[in-house]
Structure 1
Amino acid sequence: MMTAVELELRGKRPILLTGDFNAWSRTWGSEFTNSRGRLVEDTVAAMDLVLLNTPGAYTFECSRGRSIIDLAFADRVTANRATWKVEETIHTHSDHKAIILELSNGAPQVERRAVQQKWKKSSFNLEAFLQAWQGTHLLGTTAEDIAEELANKIEAACNASMTRGRYTGKRKQAYWWTSEIADLRKACIKARRRAKRATLRPTFEELHGVYHVRKWELKKAIVRSKNLCFRKMRDKADVEPWGMAYQTIMRKVKGPTAPQPKCPILLEKAVLTLFPPQEETSAEALPTIEPSDVPPVTTEEVLHTLCRINDNKAPGPDGVPNMAFKAAVRELPHIFAHVYSTCLTEGTFPSRWKLQRLVLLLKPGKQPHQPSSYRPLLNIMTLTHGVGVGWLAPSLPLLGSEESPLGEAISIVEASWVGSLIGLGSLTGNIIFGTLLDRLGRKLCMYLIAIPNMIYWILIYTAENVTYLYVGRFLAGISGGGCYVVLPIFISEIADSNIRGALASLPLMYVSIGMILGYLLTSFLSYYVMPCVAIALPVIYFLTIISLWETPQYLLKQGRDTLAERSYYFYKNLSLSPSDNDNELAQHDAAKQEFETFKQQVLSGGIRETITWRDFLNRSTLKIFVINFTLIICNQLSGSFALFNYTSHIFNELETQIAANTCTIVMGASQVLGIVCAVSLVDRLGRRPLLLTSFVGMGFGELSIGLLKQFAPSDLLAQLNWLPLLLMCLVAFIASLGVISLVFVIVIELLPAKIRSVGTSICMVTLSMFIFVSLKIYPLMIFGPGLSATMYMSAAACAFGFSVMSLFLPETKGKLLTN
């Protein structure tokens, strides 16, 4: 029930939540706290609500006793307007007492707290401070007394040497506010009032027109003032680069400060979690130390420690600036040495020094009451696949030379088949695992995708001719095709919607990291050592996923509700079998209700219904498939995958004097950096902006490479040997920002829940077909029409993808996958 209330009210304001909760908690004055009370506490804490009840005011009374079970909660703004009381004089003909809740009609009162303004460091007068500080003596005998006395003496010296800031209580006016705007605003308000009062009079139309004219003049004046202020700020930027322009931009980049929680229940839980209370230790349990055994603190130690204090650090709760504190220590260091020695001798840490201001900073995208944990075990397999993909580029020059480990050099046609067969294998893997995904389940398919990859490395080690490489690359494609079907669905089904985009982009990042590892290991290890190292990764992956559960969605689809509930608890990090503790019982009840809500959402998507042709042959689904197919085709024909398989050949065509393998490694690092940026931005900016930006940047980068190859003479390329590497790294970075990293995310989020497994398999089959096509035609085009024509074709694919996606692709950020 409370979970449904939280889901209904989340993000809404204002909130006034009242009723007979039948919940007991010491927070509102009950004798004890039961499981229902803890559940209510957790719910109102998550929504940052404030209790309106007067603690100790009983709302229910019968022959068996009395209690406080009728509760009222409100958000902070509404709570400032509310007055709650129990009216004893009204008879209700019930055991529940009459409760009067009043809301004031005026503007909500803003919380004010008495704040003593800080000292102005700019007004610090060292001579006045030292004059007030000299001759200070401490008369206290205990550590508590002399610490309090020392703080008062320093505060008095600060008052004598510095002025405090003024607080007027007035709101700072906008930077664009002028006297002209103030007059126009008064005229606009006056015209609006006159028009309102004349609603039913004959002069209404005339007065209403006057009001619109005044309003239009006010808006124009504000726009003119803002433009004028912007031009002034722009002109000052050349003179003061760190002035107002820089500060304004940094404020926009940092974004608004998150509001501090005010709910006392949430604050108490947060503080107890961050600073758990320690068990008190009796004095008898502590070792006895004689005061004479404690060495005194010397003035040299005090002065040495003073050097570590930075003047620009923020002061503590007392507000004493560090420059004043350092001046006091330098003038009379023996006083501070005496205070510290007394504390050590008595074994006392003064209460005055224990005060600190605590600011709670909520992590982005995290719920304040329910932290989630995720395990990166699945990415080992995508890392392994990336290593297999990255093995090819550095190995092709060796395989095509006279020192080939196969005994004879492979031809260009054979090299194109070695590169492209991974696409055919991926196509086969899409079909196989797309068929098995709903029959065997996600977890068993995750086991199976590791087996072809192991065989791939065995065949490379034992290869005697190019046929071994054909079969091995085909099996590597089957494993990769399985990864592209199984892992994105598995991740999307266990991840929260607010971070699903980042988690679903991580496999692509690990593929890129794997490609860099493949480049590095293949470049520096011998042909026969490389497979022995790489085969360890699928073995590790196979062992680490044993502890994972099947996804709750698949178990619900199979009608195994009990196992689905246990799987849901596992991936949400919830307790499955609580003890008799009231807190754990309350958490278990909340988790049970949360799962029931999740179950209803999943089943409402029709996942247990039989899939028919009508689920595919309808207008909305066909539109989704057209968008997905266009995205996939443009993804491959833009060269996002093929370019990374033939980087050595591309850099040789660009006649760069930097080693081709070194360029390949640097380019792979740029790709990883782009995917890291995509992971951090995809759930903030959304999928659509990143994808469109990636298409534009990649198209211009490839067009630049084509023009460079076609029109730049060889001597210029020799002088600017860094330029081809820079352009290729730019293409790799921009492509990884959206075209590479977001394909799986967008495909899965667009598809309906009922046909998601089959639809994903169809899309991945299409992807694998075009992987094969791109890997087959790119080397033929590079050595045929030339690198320029290849880059022009890729840039045209980017332009076509940008045009279609900008017109038809919807934003899928935050979309629920349960229905």
Structure 2
Amino acid sequence: MAISQEVERGENMEQEEMREPLMKEGKSSSTCEEDGSPNNNRGSISMVLFSTLIAVWGSFAFGLCMGYSAPTQSSIIDDLGLTIAEYSVFGSIVNIGAMIGAITSGYIADFTGRKGAMRISAIFCIIGWLVVYFSKEAWSLDVGRFCMGYGIGVVSYVVPVFIAEITPKNIRGGLTTLNQLMICTGSSYAYIVGTFVTWRTLALTGLIPSSILLLGLFFVPESPRWLAKVGKHKEFEVALQRLRGKDADISEEATEIQDYIETLKHLPKAKMLDLFQRRYARSVIIGVGLIFFQQFGGINGYFFYVSNIFESAGFSSGNVGTILCACIQVPITALGAMLMDKTGRRPLLLMSSTGTFLGCFLVGISFYLKGHGVSSGWVPILVLIGILVDIGSFSLGMGSVPWVIMSEIFPINIKGTAGSLVTLMHWVGAWVTSYTFNFLMSWSSSGTSFLYSGVCAACVIFIIMVVPETKGRTLEEIQASMNT
């Protein structure tokens, strides 16, 4: 395809000057990382693991926020006397806040650092949960939900970027996938715990993950790549040494990162319109494309309204199916995390997108049979199987791998701007899918599922034709290859 050839060999001197040092870096890094460590001295990754575990509490807060509205709907409506329309505003306004958070996330992460962005996110989430806990009217619920949305909009971008920038290449995929695993764990926690406690108590527990993140950030280093980018060379070396262990030889990795940063100084500060330059076209198409297919494959519609889907398929109650869907995410996402650095990104994406196609198609067939009065006794079982296949397949790869690849493919000089664009696409897609799902189901239950299965099939083709494999390569090697 022309997408893979967008940078012509003789395009201009600036790109040639960038390519040469980057390709040299690729050779040096491949030799210094043969043993799977960042250099020939293995050092220690204990600080990397600790820093990752702190960061992904932000992901848990993300999942808890997204899952909060489902089990609390009836109790909030009854306690505060809300109408369905007022509760719908409460449930959906989180996406509006997240869109704004997404737009500003890259700029915040570039200006305050990755840790600074995570602190801001945690503060907004804490404020949001407190406002919801003390709410007695609809408007205060909306204010709290909006604050939470802004917080998770920021953290949804910065957590995978922070993990990718601190982690050695041989474990980067698996650790970055912990982001999605903790999102799933947070949403499952909300679904399950929310059935046993009051909505105010569940809101109070929302303070825990954000507080852990806020306090834990005092004990972890800043991203070395960001420190090098902003010219804090002493802090850069200290942070890299802490991450690799006090006995590790960081000289080669430090030189590689600094050389790459030097090549970026010749480029102007990136703006949103700069993303549409030819040199960045492939990275932007891959990042935006994967998030587009992730969201418009219908996953949010199925997950948010799964109880109603089961009831329309013939189940007397959708609660059991809803809990099954919530629980299946965690173990399968964990499996995807373990496979990430073994099978590679592309195989996981292909298996996942193929599975989502089959799941959506099976749901479509089930409702088609019901509409024509054929094998109606089997429809509930087929719908359950189809949705479990869809959600399980999504959790295996499409939920997490696009974020991993997004954190890897963008050069650091445009990472903030490009990250904002991709994260904005995520939240716009989430809002469009969740808002239109019920209207589409009213039009045609089978047609809606067939539509989503078509999007998933297109995703398979997109992955085969466009998406590169990034397993086992440094960030600098990946970004150099995007321009060849």
Work out whether residues 667 and 725 of structure 1, in 8 Å CA contact, stay in contact via their aligned partners in 2. no
Work out whether residues 420 and 772 of structure 1, in 8 Å CA contact, stay in contact via their aligned partners in 2. yes
Post-superposition offset of 1:543: 1.3
Residues 464, 649 of structure 1: CA spacing in aligned structure 2 closer, same or farther, 3 A cutoff?
Answer: farther
Structure-1 residue corresponding to 2:192: 520
Alpha-carbon distance in structure 1 between the residues aligned to 2:176 and 2:90: 29
The reply to whether residue 490 of structure 1 matches residue 167 of structure 2 is no
675-684 or 532-541, which deviates more: 532-541
Post-superposition offset of 1:397: 4.3
The reply to whether residue 745 of structure 1 matches residue 404 of structure 2 is yes
Post-superposition offset of 1:495: 0.5
The reply to whether residue 389 of structure 1 matches residue 66 of structure 2 is yes
Work out whether residues 124 and 151 of structure 2, in 8 Å CA contact, stay in contact via their aligned partners in 1. yes
Post-superposition offset of 1:599: 3.9
- Which of 197, 210, 214 aligns to 1:538? It is 210
Structure-1 residue corresponding to 2:18: none
Residues 813, 388 of structure 1: CA spacing in aligned structure 2 closer, same or farther, 3 A cutoff?
Answer: same
- Which of 651, 673, 676 aligns to 2:331? It is 673
Work out whether residues 485 and 761 of structure 1, in 8 Å CA contact, stay in contact via their aligned partners in 2. yes
Structure-2 residue corresponding to 1:643: 302
Work out whether residues 60 and 183 of structure 2, in 8 Å CA contact, stay in contact via their aligned partners in 1. yes
Find the residue that maps to 1:524 and give its secondary structure.
coil
648-657 or 429-438, which deviates more: 648-657
Work out whether residues 501 and 813 of structure 1, in 8 Å CA contact, stay in contact via their aligned partners in 2. yes
Find the residue that maps to 1:738 and give its secondary structure.
helix
Alpha-carbon distance in structure 2 between the residues aligned to 1:548 and 1:712: 55
The reply to whether residue 432 of structure 1 matches residue 90 of structure 2 is no
The reply to whether residue 682 of structure 1 matches residue 340 of structure 2 is yes
Residues 740, 643 of structure 1: CA spacing in aligned structure 2 closer, same or farther, 3 A cutoff?
Answer: same
Post-superposition offset of 1:366: 11
Residues 542, 608 of structure 1: CA spacing in aligned structure 2 closer, same or farther, 3 A cutoff?
Answer: farther
Find the residue that maps to 2:170 and give its secondary structure.
coil
Structure 2 counterparts to residues 113-124 of structure 1, below 5 A: none
Structure 2 counterparts to residues 373-772 of structure 1, below 5 A: 373=46, 374-375=49-50, 376-399=53-76, 404-411=78-85, 414-575=86-247, 590-591=249-250, 593-594=251-252, 596-606=254-264, 609-612=267-270, 616-657=275-316, 659-712=317-370, 721-772=380-431
Alpha-carbon distance in structure 2 between the residues aligned to 1:790 and 1:365: 48
Deviations 1:651-689 (A, max 9, x none): 2222223x4233222112211222112111111111112
Post-superposition offset of 1:423: 1.8
Alpha-carbon distance in structure 2 between the residues aligned to 1:715 and 1:466: 45
Post-superposition offset of 1:505: 1.1
Alpha-carbon distance in structure 1 between the residues aligned to 2:88 and 2:368: 24
Post-superposition offset of 1:810: 1.6
Alpha-carbon distance in structure 1 between the residues aligned to 2:105 and 2:28: 41
Q: Which amino acid aligns with 2:219?
A: S
Residues 630, 703 of structure 1: CA spacing in aligned structure 2 closer, same or farther, 3 A cutoff?
Answer: same
Alpha-carbon distance in structure 2 between the residues aligned to 1:650 and 1:365: 48
427-436 or 623-632, which deviates more: 623-632
Alpha-carbon distance in structure 2 between the residues aligned to 1:429 and 1:490: 17
Residues 468, 663 of structure 1: CA spacing in aligned structure 2 closer, same or farther, 3 A cutoff?
Answer: farther
Work out whether residues 383 and 510 of structure 1, in 8 Å CA contact, stay in contact via their aligned partners in 2. yes
Q: Which amino acid aligns with 1:396?
A: Q
Higher-helix-fraction structure: 2
Find the residue that maps to 1:463 and give its secondary structure.
coil
Residues 393, 637 of structure 1: CA spacing in aligned structure 2 closer, same or farther, 3 A cutoff?
Answer: same
- Which of 26, 37, 45 aligns to 1:372? It is 45
Alpha-carbon distance in structure 1 between the residues aligned to 2:437 and 2:28: 55
Find the residue that maps to 1:755 and give its secondary structure.
helix
Post-superposition offset of 1:459: 3.0
Alpha-carbon distance in structure 1 between the residues aligned to 2:367 and 2:224: 53
Structure-1 residue corresponding to 2:462: 804
Alpha-carbon distance in structure 1 between the residues aligned to 2:297 and 2:130: 33
Residues 661, 475 of structure 1: CA spacing in aligned structure 2 closer, same or farther, 3 A cutoff?
Answer: farther
Post-superposition offset of 1:496: 0.6
763-772 or 493-502, which deviates more: 763-772
Find the residue that maps to 1:528 and give its secondary structure.
helix
Find the residue that maps to 1:815 and give its secondary structure.
coil
Work out whether residues 39 and 253 of structure 2, in 8 Å CA contact, stay in contact via their aligned partners in 1. no
Find the residue that maps to 1:377 and give its secondary structure.
helix
Deviating above 6 A after TM superposition, structure 1's stretches of 4 or more consecutive aligned residues are 7-12, 363-368
Work out whether residues 224 and 237 of structure 2, in 8 Å CA contact, stay in contact via their aligned partners in 1. yes
Alpha-carbon distance in structure 2 between the residues aligned to 1:441 and 1:699: 39
Alpha-carbon distance in structure 1 between the residues aligned to 2:142 and 2:438: 17
Post-superposition offset of 1:562: 0.7
Deviations 1:705-730 (A, max 9, x none): 12212313789656775443332221
Post-superposition offset of 1:608: 7.5
Alpha-carbon distance in structure 1 between the residues aligned to 2:340 and 2:291: 19
Q: Is there any run of 5+ residues in structure 1 with no aligned partner, and where?
A: 1-6, 13-42, 49-362, 576-586
Alpha-carbon distance in structure 2 between the residues aligned to 1:534 and 1:456: 9
Alpha-carbon distance in structure 1 between the residues aligned to 2:401 and 2:426: 13
Q: Which amino acid aligns with 2:67?
A: G
Normalised by the length of structure 1, the TM-score is: 0.51
Post-superposition offset of 1:518: 0.3
Residues 800, 719 of structure 1: CA spacing in aligned structure 2 closer, same or farther, 3 A cutoff?
Answer: closer
486-495 or 419-428, which deviates more: 419-428
Alpha-carbon distance in structure 2 between the residues aligned to 1:747 and 1:11: 22
Q: Which amino acid aligns with 1:383?
A: F
Find the residue that maps to 1:549 and give its secondary structure.
coil
Work out whether residues 129 and 207 of structure 2, in 8 Å CA contact, stay in contact via their aligned partners in 1. yes
Residues 721, 747 of structure 1: CA spacing in aligned structure 2 closer, same or farther, 3 A cutoff?
Answer: same
The reply to whether residue 778 of structure 1 matches residue 451 of structure 2 is no
Q: Which amino acid aligns with 2:225?
A: Q
Q: Based on CA coordinates, which of the two structures has the bigger radius of gyration? A: 1
Q: Higher relative contact order by CA 8 Å / sep ≥ 6: 1 or 2?
A: 2
Q: Which amino acid aligns with 1:562?
A: K
Deviations 1:9-56 (A, max 9, x none): 9988xxxxxxxxxxxxxxxxxxxxxxxxxxxxxx9xx989xxxxxxxx
Find the residue that maps to 1:630 and give its secondary structure.
helix
Normalised by the length of structure 2, the TM-score is: 0.84
Work out whether residues 636 and 642 of structure 1, in 8 Å CA contact, stay in contact via their aligned partners in 2. no
Find the residue that maps to 1:641 and give its secondary structure.
helix
Question: Percent identity between the aligned chains?
Answer: 25
Alpha-carbon distance in structure 2 between the residues aligned to 1:653 and 1:398: 23
User: Superposition RMSD on alpha carbons, in Å?
Assistant: 2.9
Find the residue that maps to 2:198 and give its secondary structure.
coil
Post-superposition offset of 1:601: 3.8
Alpha-carbon distance in structure 2 between the residues aligned to 1:628 and 1:10: 25
Structure-1 residue corresponding to 2:8: none
Alpha-carbon distance in structure 2 between the residues aligned to 1:10 and 1:749: 16
Alpha-carbon distance in structure 1 between the residues aligned to 2:444 and 2:79: 29
Work out whether residues 419 and 776 of structure 1, in 8 Å CA contact, stay in contact via their aligned partners in 2. no
